[in-house]
């Protein structure tokens, strides 16, 4: 009877080891894809935030440059 339990324990241990090995053999590409997607989402959020925050500054700069360009061509 003890031999049966020992054999069952050995089978259980082998199964558990194989299962854990398969768990650790995950494709490293999966985490890379997730990282790239997260970086893209963060980048898009930053672009939207900066474009919203800097819109008045850009508009005022372009307006001032537009006036200078118009005055240059008017003098010709």
What number of CA atoms fall less than 13 Å from residue 55's CA on the CB side?
6
Query: Which of 50, 72, 71, 69 has its CA nearest to residue 61?
Result: 69
The pLDDT score that the predictor gives to residue 40 is 92
Residue 26 is predicted with a pLDDT of: 66
Dist CA 42 CA 63 (whole Å): 31
Per-residue pLDDT at 28: 63
pLDDT tens digits in sequence order for the chain, 76 residues long: 778 878 888 888 888 888 777 767 766 666 677 788 899 999 999 988 888 888 888 778 777 777 777 787 887 6
What's the rounded Cα separation, in Å, for the pair 65 and 48?
24
Measured in Å, how far apart are the chain's first and last C-alpha atoms? 108
* pTM given for the model: 0.42
């Amino acid at each position: 009877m003890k031999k049966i339990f020992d054999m069952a324990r050995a089978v259980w241990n082998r199964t558990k080891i194989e299962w854990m090995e398969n768990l650790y053999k995950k494709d490293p590409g999966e985490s890379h894809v997730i990282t790239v997607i997260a970086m893209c989402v963060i980048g898009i959020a930053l672009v939207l935030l900066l474009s919203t925050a800097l819109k008045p500054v850009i508009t005022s700069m372009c307006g001032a440059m537009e006036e200078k360009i118009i005055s240059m061509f008017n003098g010709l």
